[in-house]
Structure 1
Amino acid sequence: MKISRPSENEYNTNSPQYRYIQAVTGEDAFKILRENFLIVENFFKNLPIEKLHFRYAEGKWTPIEVLGHIIDTERILAYRALCIARGEKQSLPGFEEEDYVKATNFEKQSLRNLLLHYKAVRKANLLLFKTLSTKEWKRIGKANNINYSARALAWLIAGHEIHHLNILKERYL
Protein backbone atom coordinates (compact mmCIF):
# COMPACT_ATOMS: atom_id res chain seq x y z
CA MET A 1 0.00 0.00 0.00
CA LYS A 2 1.30 3.42 -0.98
CA ILE A 3 -0.34 6.84 -0.84
CA SER A 4 1.61 8.89 -3.35
CA ARG A 5 2.10 12.63 -3.02
CA PRO A 6 -0.90 14.64 -4.26
CA SER A 7 -0.48 16.99 -7.18
CA GLU A 8 -0.99 20.68 -6.50
CA ASN A 9 -4.44 20.62 -8.16
CA GLU A 10 -5.66 18.29 -5.38
CA TYR A 11 -5.58 20.93 -2.65
CA ASN A 12 -5.32 24.69 -2.20
CA THR A 13 -1.66 25.70 -2.32
CA ASN A 14 -2.61 29.12 -0.92
CA SER A 15 -4.15 27.66 2.24
CA PRO A 16 -2.33 27.18 5.56
CA GLN A 17 -2.63 23.42 5.01
CA TYR A 18 -0.14 23.66 2.14
CA ARG A 19 2.72 23.83 4.67
CA TYR A 20 1.57 20.60 6.28
CA ILE A 21 1.79 18.67 3.03
CA GLN A 22 5.17 20.25 2.31
CA ALA A 23 6.43 19.19 5.76
CA VAL A 24 6.09 15.52 4.83
CA THR A 25 9.28 14.07 3.39
CA GLY A 26 9.29 11.12 1.05
CA GLU A 27 6.67 10.00 -1.41
CA ASP A 28 4.42 7.70 0.64
CA ALA A 29 2.03 9.08 3.25
CA PHE A 30 0.96 5.58 4.28
CA LYS A 31 4.54 4.75 5.29
CA ILE A 32 4.88 8.08 7.11
CA LEU A 33 1.62 7.49 9.02
CA ARG A 34 2.86 4.06 10.14
CA GLU A 35 6.26 5.44 11.17
CA ASN A 36 4.86 8.55 12.84
CA PHE A 37 2.76 6.43 15.13
CA LEU A 38 5.88 5.10 16.85
CA ILE A 39 7.55 8.51 16.84
CA VAL A 40 4.56 10.17 18.51
CA GLU A 41 4.11 7.37 21.01
CA ASN A 42 7.81 7.41 21.96
CA PHE A 43 7.87 11.20 22.18
CA PHE A 44 5.03 11.28 24.70
CA LYS A 45 6.25 8.28 26.68
CA ASN A 46 9.65 9.96 27.05
CA LEU A 47 8.36 13.44 27.82
CA PRO A 48 9.04 14.27 31.47
CA ILE A 49 5.82 13.97 33.47
CA GLU A 50 6.05 17.58 34.65
CA LYS A 51 5.97 18.74 31.00
CA LEU A 52 2.68 16.97 30.12
CA HIS A 53 0.57 19.76 31.66
CA PHE A 54 2.99 22.64 31.08
CA ARG A 55 2.08 25.71 29.03
CA TYR A 56 5.04 27.62 27.60
CA ALA A 57 2.88 30.76 27.43
CA GLU A 58 -0.57 31.87 28.53
CA GLY A 59 -3.29 30.48 26.27
CA LYS A 60 -1.02 27.89 24.67
CA TRP A 61 -1.89 24.22 24.76
CA THR A 62 -0.20 21.70 27.00
CA PRO A 63 1.41 18.64 25.38
CA ILE A 64 -1.59 16.56 26.56
CA GLU A 65 -3.92 18.99 24.78
CA VAL A 66 -1.74 18.86 21.66
CA LEU A 67 -2.02 15.07 21.61
CA GLY A 68 -5.80 15.33 21.98
CA HIS A 69 -5.88 17.89 19.17
CA ILE A 70 -3.83 15.58 16.93
CA ILE A 71 -6.36 12.80 17.60
CA ASP A 72 -9.38 15.03 16.91
CA THR A 73 -7.86 16.43 13.74
CA GLU A 74 -6.90 13.02 12.39
CA ARG A 75 -10.41 11.76 13.00
CA ILE A 76 -11.94 14.77 11.21
CA LEU A 77 -9.54 14.65 8.25
CA ALA A 78 -10.01 10.89 7.83
CA TYR A 79 -13.79 11.36 7.87
CA ARG A 80 -13.41 14.01 5.19
CA ALA A 81 -11.19 11.66 3.14
CA LEU A 82 -13.82 8.91 3.42
CA CYS A 83 -16.65 11.24 2.38
CA ILE A 84 -14.71 12.61 -0.58
CA ALA A 85 -13.54 9.13 -1.64
CA ARG A 86 -17.18 8.03 -1.67
CA GLY A 87 -18.18 10.97 -3.85
CA GLU A 88 -19.82 13.33 -1.36
CA LYS A 89 -21.05 16.39 -3.27
CA GLN A 90 -21.72 18.76 -0.37
CA SER A 91 -18.98 20.80 1.27
CA LEU A 92 -18.04 19.20 4.57
CA PRO A 93 -18.04 21.51 7.58
CA GLY A 94 -14.94 23.17 8.94
CA PHE A 95 -13.98 23.14 12.60
CA GLU A 96 -12.41 25.63 14.95
CA GLU A 97 -9.51 23.86 16.64
CA GLU A 98 -9.34 26.27 19.59
CA ASP A 99 -13.01 25.69 20.40
CA TYR A 100 -12.59 21.91 20.13
CA VAL A 101 -9.70 21.87 22.59
CA LYS A 102 -11.53 24.20 25.01
CA ALA A 103 -14.58 21.89 24.92
CA THR A 104 -12.63 18.81 26.00
CA ASN A 105 -11.26 17.26 29.13
CA PHE A 106 -7.88 16.25 27.68
CA GLU A 107 -6.16 17.65 30.76
CA LYS A 108 -8.04 15.18 32.97
CA GLN A 109 -7.25 12.13 30.84
CA SER A 110 -4.24 9.98 31.44
CA LEU A 111 -1.44 9.87 28.91
CA ARG A 112 -2.02 6.12 28.66
CA ASN A 113 -5.69 6.64 27.74
CA LEU A 114 -4.89 9.28 25.13
CA LEU A 115 -2.17 7.10 23.58
CA LEU A 116 -4.62 4.18 23.39
CA HIS A 117 -7.12 6.49 21.69
CA TYR A 118 -4.43 7.74 19.30
CA LYS A 119 -3.45 4.16 18.45
CA ALA A 120 -7.07 3.14 17.81
CA VAL A 121 -7.71 6.11 15.53
CA ARG A 122 -4.49 5.54 13.58
CA LYS A 123 -5.09 1.81 13.16
CA ALA A 124 -8.66 2.41 11.98
CA ASN A 125 -7.50 5.01 9.49
CA LEU A 126 -4.69 2.83 8.12
CA LEU A 127 -7.23 0.05 7.61
CA LEU A 128 -9.59 2.48 5.86
CA PHE A 129 -6.82 3.83 3.68
CA LYS A 130 -5.84 0.32 2.57
CA THR A 131 -9.32 -0.14 1.09
CA LEU A 132 -9.39 2.95 -1.11
CA SER A 133 -8.84 2.54 -4.83
CA THR A 134 -6.70 4.85 -6.98
CA LYS A 135 -9.91 6.38 -8.32
CA GLU A 136 -11.20 7.06 -4.79
CA TRP A 137 -7.89 8.62 -3.69
CA LYS A 138 -7.99 11.07 -6.57
CA ARG A 139 -11.62 12.14 -6.14
CA ILE A 140 -12.02 15.82 -5.37
CA GLY A 141 -14.52 17.16 -2.89
CA LYS A 142 -14.99 20.16 -0.66
CA ALA A 143 -14.23 20.59 3.01
CA ASN A 144 -14.73 23.99 4.59
CA ASN A 145 -15.40 25.21 1.02
CA ILE A 146 -11.88 24.25 -0.09
CA ASN A 147 -11.21 21.58 -2.73
CA TYR A 148 -9.27 18.51 -1.59
CA SER A 149 -8.66 15.05 -2.90
CA ALA A 150 -8.97 12.19 -0.45
CA ARG A 151 -5.23 11.64 -1.00
CA ALA A 152 -4.38 15.23 -0.02
CA LEU A 153 -6.26 14.72 3.25
CA ALA A 154 -4.14 11.67 4.13
CA TRP A 155 -1.05 13.81 3.52
CA LEU A 156 -2.55 16.56 5.68
CA ILE A 157 -2.93 14.10 8.56
CA ALA A 158 0.76 13.21 8.33
CA GLY A 159 1.92 16.80 7.93
CA HIS A 160 -0.30 18.17 10.68
CA GLU A 161 1.17 15.67 13.10
CA ILE A 162 4.74 16.53 12.05
CA HIS A 163 3.95 20.24 12.48
CA HIS A 164 2.80 19.75 16.07
CA LEU A 165 5.66 17.41 16.96
CA ASN A 166 8.13 20.03 15.78
CA ILE A 167 6.45 22.68 17.95
CA LEU A 168 6.48 20.35 20.94
CA LYS A 169 10.20 19.65 20.47
CA GLU A 170 11.02 23.36 20.08
CA ARG A 171 8.90 24.70 22.92
CA TYR A 172 8.77 21.92 25.49
CA LEU A 173 12.18 20.24 25.38
Structure 2
Amino acid sequence: MSRPKSNEYNPHFKGYIGLVPDGHLQNILRNQLEESISFFKAISKEKSEYRYAEGKWSIKEVLGHLVDTERIMCYRLLAIARGDQSPLPSFDENAYNENANFNRLELEQILIEYETVRHATLSLLANLSDETLELEGTVLNHPTTPRAIAYIIAGHELHHLKIINERYL
Protein backbone atom coordinates (compact mmCIF):
# COMPACT_ATOMS: atom_id res chain seq x y z
CA MET A 1 0.00 0.00 0.00
CA SER A 2 1.54 3.28 -1.06
CA ARG A 3 1.46 6.48 0.98
CA PRO A 4 -1.65 8.56 0.24
CA LYS A 5 -1.43 11.78 -1.74
CA SER A 6 -2.36 15.03 0.01
CA ASN A 7 -5.68 15.24 -1.88
CA GLU A 8 -6.83 11.94 -0.32
CA TYR A 9 -7.49 13.30 3.17
CA ASN A 10 -8.43 16.36 5.15
CA PRO A 11 -5.36 18.55 5.83
CA HIS A 12 -6.14 18.14 9.54
CA PHE A 13 -4.60 14.64 9.28
CA LYS A 14 -1.38 15.63 7.50
CA GLY A 15 0.68 15.52 10.71
CA TYR A 16 -0.43 11.98 11.52
CA ILE A 17 0.34 10.66 8.05
CA GLY A 18 3.73 12.40 8.14
CA LEU A 19 4.69 10.43 11.25
CA VAL A 20 4.28 7.06 9.53
CA PRO A 21 7.66 5.68 8.43
CA ASP A 22 8.23 4.30 4.97
CA GLY A 23 7.51 0.62 4.62
CA HIS A 24 4.68 -1.84 4.25
CA LEU A 25 1.80 -0.33 6.23
CA GLN A 26 0.38 -3.63 7.47
CA ASN A 27 3.80 -4.56 8.85
CA ILE A 28 4.00 -1.14 10.51
CA LEU A 29 0.58 -1.70 12.11
CA ARG A 30 1.58 -5.22 13.25
CA ASN A 31 4.81 -3.89 14.74
CA GLN A 32 2.90 -1.09 16.47
CA LEU A 33 0.65 -3.69 18.03
CA GLU A 34 3.55 -5.60 19.55
CA GLU A 35 5.48 -2.48 20.57
CA SER A 36 2.47 -0.73 22.08
CA ILE A 37 1.41 -3.76 24.11
CA SER A 38 4.95 -4.03 25.54
CA PHE A 39 5.06 -0.28 26.12
CA PHE A 40 1.77 -0.10 28.02
CA LYS A 41 2.38 -3.30 30.00
CA ALA A 42 5.52 -1.70 31.43
CA ILE A 43 3.49 1.18 32.91
CA SER A 44 2.58 0.85 36.58
CA LYS A 45 -1.01 1.09 37.84
CA GLU A 46 -0.21 4.42 39.52
CA LYS A 47 1.42 5.85 36.41
CA SER A 48 -1.45 4.64 34.19
CA GLU A 49 -3.78 6.99 36.09
CA TYR A 50 -1.39 9.95 35.98
CA ARG A 51 -2.44 13.22 34.34
CA TYR A 52 0.30 15.68 33.48
CA ALA A 53 -2.05 18.66 33.95
CA GLU A 54 -5.53 19.48 35.17
CA GLY A 55 -8.16 18.45 32.62
CA LYS A 56 -5.78 16.21 30.65
CA TRP A 57 -6.42 12.52 30.09
CA SER A 58 -4.70 9.79 32.06
CA ILE A 59 -2.54 7.25 30.23
CA LYS A 60 -5.45 4.80 30.47
CA GLU A 61 -7.70 7.36 28.83
CA VAL A 62 -5.17 8.01 26.06
CA LEU A 63 -5.04 4.27 25.34
CA GLY A 64 -8.84 4.13 25.39
CA HIS A 65 -8.91 7.07 22.97
CA LEU A 66 -6.61 5.14 20.62
CA VAL A 67 -9.04 2.21 20.72
CA ASP A 68 -12.13 4.35 20.13
CA THR A 69 -10.49 6.33 17.35
CA GLU A 70 -9.25 3.23 15.55
CA ARG A 71 -12.76 1.76 15.70
CA ILE A 72 -14.24 4.93 14.23
CA MET A 73 -11.55 5.18 11.57
CA CYS A 74 -12.13 1.54 10.60
CA TYR A 75 -15.84 2.18 10.24
CA ARG A 76 -15.00 5.08 7.94
CA LEU A 77 -12.51 2.94 6.02
CA LEU A 78 -15.06 0.13 5.65
CA ALA A 79 -17.87 2.45 4.58
CA ILE A 80 -15.78 4.06 1.85
CA ALA A 81 -14.30 0.72 0.74
CA ARG A 82 -17.83 -0.65 0.32
CA GLY A 83 -18.87 2.32 -1.80
CA ASP A 84 -20.93 4.22 0.77
CA GLN A 85 -21.07 7.81 -0.39
CA SER A 86 -22.70 9.16 2.79
CA PRO A 87 -20.65 11.98 4.33
CA LEU A 88 -18.94 10.60 7.45
CA PRO A 89 -19.03 13.00 10.40
CA SER A 90 -16.51 13.91 13.04
CA PHE A 91 -16.83 12.70 16.62
CA ASP A 92 -16.38 14.39 19.99
CA GLU A 93 -13.36 12.61 21.45
CA ASN A 94 -13.85 14.25 24.85
CA ALA A 95 -17.46 13.05 25.11
CA TYR A 96 -16.38 9.55 24.11
CA ASN A 97 -13.66 9.54 26.73
CA GLU A 98 -15.88 10.99 29.44
CA ASN A 99 -18.53 8.33 28.86
CA ALA A 100 -16.09 5.43 28.53
CA ASN A 101 -14.82 5.60 32.11
CA PHE A 102 -11.48 4.07 31.15
CA ASN A 103 -10.01 4.88 34.57
CA ARG A 104 -12.34 2.37 36.24
CA LEU A 105 -10.82 -0.39 34.08
CA GLU A 106 -7.52 -2.16 34.58
CA LEU A 107 -4.93 -1.18 32.00
CA GLU A 108 -4.80 -4.84 30.93
CA GLN A 109 -8.51 -4.74 30.03
CA ILE A 110 -7.98 -1.75 27.75
CA LEU A 111 -4.95 -3.46 26.19
CA ILE A 112 -7.06 -6.52 25.35
CA GLU A 113 -9.55 -4.25 23.64
CA TYR A 114 -6.73 -2.46 21.80
CA GLU A 115 -5.33 -5.78 20.59
CA THR A 116 -8.75 -6.97 19.43
CA VAL A 117 -9.42 -3.77 17.50
CA ARG A 118 -5.98 -3.79 15.87
CA HIS A 119 -6.42 -7.41 14.74
CA ALA A 120 -9.77 -6.44 13.20
CA THR A 121 -8.09 -3.52 11.41
CA LEU A 122 -5.38 -5.80 10.02
CA SER A 123 -7.95 -8.36 8.92
CA LEU A 124 -9.99 -5.72 7.10
CA LEU A 125 -6.94 -4.29 5.34
CA ALA A 126 -5.72 -7.75 4.29
CA ASN A 127 -8.89 -8.30 2.31
CA LEU A 128 -9.03 -5.02 0.38
CA SER A 129 -7.74 -4.67 -3.16
CA ASP A 130 -5.48 -1.84 -4.28
CA GLU A 131 -8.41 -0.44 -6.28
CA THR A 132 -10.66 -0.48 -3.22
CA LEU A 133 -8.03 1.37 -1.16
CA GLU A 134 -8.22 4.21 -3.68
CA LEU A 135 -12.01 4.64 -3.65
CA GLU A 136 -13.15 8.03 -2.52
CA GLY A 137 -15.64 8.98 0.15
CA THR A 138 -16.16 12.03 2.35
CA VAL A 139 -14.78 12.44 5.86
CA LEU A 140 -14.98 15.80 7.64
CA ASN A 141 -16.32 17.33 4.41
CA HIS A 142 -13.19 16.31 2.49
CA PRO A 143 -12.52 13.60 -0.11
CA THR A 144 -10.90 10.66 1.69
CA THR A 145 -9.63 7.23 0.66
CA PRO A 146 -9.44 4.03 2.71
CA ARG A 147 -5.67 4.11 2.13
CA ALA A 148 -5.43 7.52 3.79
CA ILE A 149 -7.49 6.32 6.73
CA ALA A 150 -5.19 3.33 7.24
CA TYR A 151 -2.22 5.71 7.40
CA ILE A 152 -4.10 8.02 9.76
CA ILE A 153 -4.66 5.09 12.15
CA ALA A 154 -0.92 4.37 12.28
CA GLY A 155 0.07 8.03 12.57
CA HIS A 156 -2.53 8.83 15.22
CA GLU A 157 -1.06 6.14 17.46
CA LEU A 158 2.49 7.40 16.87
CA HIS A 159 1.35 10.93 17.74
CA HIS A 160 -0.11 9.87 21.07
CA LEU A 161 2.80 7.62 22.01
CA LYS A 162 5.10 10.59 21.45
CA ILE A 163 2.94 12.71 23.76
CA ILE A 164 2.94 9.99 26.44
CA ASN A 165 6.73 9.75 26.29
CA GLU A 166 7.18 13.53 26.40
CA ARG A 167 4.56 14.53 28.97
CA TYR A 168 3.72 11.52 31.09
CA LEU A 169 6.88 9.47 31.55
Equivalents in 2 of 1:21, 1:29: separation in Å?
11
Give the match for residue 114 of structure 2.
118
Aligned residue type for 2:15: R
Aligned to 1:40: 36
Query: Which has the larger displacement, 161-170 or 107-116?
Result: 107-116
Where 1:147 maps in the other structure, the secondary structure is: strand
Please identify runs of 4+ aligned residues in structure 1 that moved more than 2 A: none
- What SS does the corresponding residue of 1:43 show, helix, strand or coil? helix
Residue identity in the other structure for 1:65: E
Distance 2:58 2:101 in 1: 12
Kept in 2, the 8 Å contact 1:85–1:139? The answer is yes
| Equivalent residue in structure 1 for 2:101, among 101, 105, 109 | 105
User: What is the match of residue 3 of structure 2?
Assistant: 5
Aligned CA-pair RMSD: 1.0
Residue 96 (structure 1) shift: 1.1
- In structure 2, what is the equivalent of residue 140 of structure 1? 136
What are the residue-to-residue correspondences of 1:83-98 with 2, within 5 Å?
Answer: 83-98=79-94
Equivalent in 121, 125, 135 of residue 129 of structure 1: 125
In structure 1, runs of 5+ residues without a counterpart are: none
Q: Distance in 1 between matches of 2:163 and 2:4?
A: 25
The letter of the residue matching 1:6 is: P
Contact kept, 8 Å, 2:45 with 2:107, in 1: the verdict is: no
C-alpha separation in 2, matches of 1:138 and 1:55? 39
Q: Residues of 2 paired with 1:27 and 1:148: CA distance?
A: 21
**Residue 171, structure 1, aligned to residue 152, structure 2:** no
Count of paired positions: 169
Could you tell me which residue of structure 2 aligns to residue 78 of structure 1?
74
Q: TM-score, normalised by structure 2?
A: 0.96
Segment of structure 1 superposing worse, 63-72 or 43-52:
43-52
Counting aligned pairs with the same residue, the percent is 46
C-alpha displacement at 1:48, in angstroms? 2.6
More displaced stretch, 151-160 vs 89-98: 89-98
